[in-house]
Amino acid sequence: MSTFSWIELFPTKLSFVIFLAYILLFVGQGILVTASQKADNQYDYNIITVVLLTEVLKLIVSTLLYCKDNSPKSLVNNIVENRKVLGLYFVPALLYCFYNNLAFVNLSVFDPTTYYLLLQLRVVVTGILFQVIFSKTLSKKQWLSLLILTFGCMLKQINFTNQEKKSFISFDIVGLNGIFILLQIFCSCLAGVYNEYLLKKQGADVNIFIQNVFMYLDSIVCNVVLLSVRVSLSSAFTYENISKVFHYKVLLVMFNNAAIGIVTSFFLKTLNSILKTFASALELVLTAILSYLFFRIAIHLNTVLAIGAVMYAVYLYSQNPVSSKASSRQSDQIALIKSEQV
């Protein structure tokens, strides 16, 4: 008989801390982005510029973390020696570029709870990609847990009361807004699984901070190209536009998003993208609870049922978690990361 195994889910204390930090940062991101909007739910700042500057911030942090125990010359040598991996990182970098910019667009249409609910559609997509890329077949119990999780997220939109005739998810999801959500979902799934593939396969022998540098260098290039297509670079960095970007609410969004990027890389290195989808589902639960505590948004029967289904799915998954075994080199890197972060 299967038993609940925290050790298989979280092999180290650090992995559990990363799991919690990942959830809290993502919940905070939805709230912070919404708080940075104007009264009409639009943005007073250029969102591509914000994403670009966030990637620059991530690059600076990753470079400093690497140079804490290594020389700048070593950083340059590693980039040159692993230029093939640097090129491969353009794939997830471009996908994350679209994902990060679409997050701002979709949060201007949907409230944070609805936004996180819709993103749960990526659960099954991630499971399929995990099988294809890592050639690992999910068991019946794992698929059942994924389906229960998806069903639990769907329950959130069902209204069991007569207080509100309007569906929780409006018809805004049909048409262009629906296309943007679906595009963000596929970008998230493809980028997350492919990034894990690079971390554990192609780039297994490359220091995780070097891999982060690769990701953020490529992301900066992708966002500069996107910014050039949408608006001219000179107009994007005028004093008026930059002053809007450096508003305290926008800075909080940038720093929180930068922290998400760093934590996500550790998440995918020490855990896996399937568990990442469950963390995303728990974000929905936590967002609903915090919305009630801070904004007095009522938690109806549909929310309670959704929470119950999601928590059961997490329990079911914990009995038979997916395990991506790391090489001895990776184990050494994880131990190094642990010593540096504690």
* pLDDT at residue 205, rounded to an integer: 77
Amino acid at 233: L
pTM score of the predicted model: 0.75
* pLDDT at residue 133, rounded to an integer: 66
Rounded to an integer, what distance in angstroms lies between the CA atom of residue 259 and that of residue 27?
13
* pLDDT at residue 337, rounded to an integer: 33
Q: Output DSSP code: residue 237.
A: T
* pLDDT at residue 268, rounded to an integer: 66
| Contact assessment for residue 123 and residue 185, using Cβ atoms and an 8 Å cutoff | no
| Contact assessment for residue 176 and residue 98, using Cβ atoms and an 8 Å cutoff | no
* pLDDT at residue 169, rounded to an integer: 47
| Contact assessment for residue 267 and residue 18, using Cβ atoms and an 8 Å cutoff | yes
Rounded to an integer, what distance in angstroms lies between the CA atom of residue 295 and that of residue 109?
19
Strand, helix or coil at 83?
helix
* pLDDT at residue 334, rounded to an integer: 35
Question: pLDDT 10s per residue in the chain (342 long)?
Answer: 445 456 666 777 888 888 888 889 988 888 889 888 887 888 999 999 999 999 999 999 989 988 988 899 999 998 898 888 889 899 989 999 999 999 999 988 887 877 887 777 776 677 776 677 667 777 888 888 888 877 877 776 676 665 554 444 444 555 677 789 889 988 988 887 777 777 677 666 787 788 889 989 999 999 999 998 887 777 778 888 889 999 999 999 999 988 887 787 677 667 765 676 677 667 777 887 877 777 676 777 877 787 788 778 767 766 665 554 544 444 333 333 332 333
Strand, helix or coil at 121?
coil
